[in-house]
Amino acid sequence: MSTTNTNTVATTIDQANADRAGAVVGYLPAGFPDVRTSIDAAVALAENGVDVIELGLPYSDPVMDGPVIQRAAEESLANGFRVAQVFDAVHEITERAGIPVLVMTYWNPVLRYGVDRFADDLVAAGAAGLITPDLIPDEATEWLTASERTGLDRVFLAAPSSTDARMRQAVESSRGFVYAVSTMGVTGARLGVDAAARTVVSRLRDAGVDRTCVGLGISTADQVAEVLDYADGAIVGSAFVRALADLGVTGAGQRAAELTAGAQRR
């Protein structure tokens, strides 16, 4: 199977940067608190200004995720979430929301499922591609091959600790955007977005990046505006997950409206 996504992450981010300050990427875990609610919540984010959905595949050892997202993933798994259900969720979200959906997953579930099979099922579901936080390009040969065959986006990470060589590798290997990690350690909303984010983005620009989005710690409209002053997109995760946990789908949608207002500022 070979295809090219028409509603791509790249074109969506470019359009957001042409229309306003930049793009907002919204993360939610699939299956939290149940599959139906996670789908409805993702659609609510899209209806309230989020440009790209990052749908997390719950995993038992989420080394990069903070406590809010960890708890959500644990609840999803405890409720019986299975890997195959992520494809059904992606399909319905893309059908209803009409925006690109990237699946964020640790690499082990993809290996267990089968890399080519996973890629083919992503395409069939209408997914844009994968964000792989614990996979480096050096070890991604099978995924690089599968994503070339299928036309799927592949988003690798760059961190403050990344060497210049790793930065270049992330730029050369990614398609869609490069995920700039703003702080060392796990994800989670923070009072201030680490100044290291600007340095990471600057280094990625020096390495020739076309698009980079900053994640880990963004929880206010002011922080969204701050990040979009120098990056192409702002990634919001824990703030949306907490809103969904506390206030349901409506609360998640309202939180999205509040945060995406930061993308209107130039």
Q: Please list the active-site residues.
A: 54, 65
Is residue 42 a contact partner of residue 28, using CB atoms and an 8 Å limit?
yes
Give the helix/strand (H/E) hosting 41: helix 35-47
CA distance 98 to 37: 18
In contact, 33 and 79? CB cutoff 8 Å: yes
Main-chain phi, psi angles of 193, to 5 degrees: -80, 125
75 closest CA partner among 35, 26, 41? 35
List Cα–Cα distances, 149 to 123, 144, 176, in angstroms: 11, 9, 16
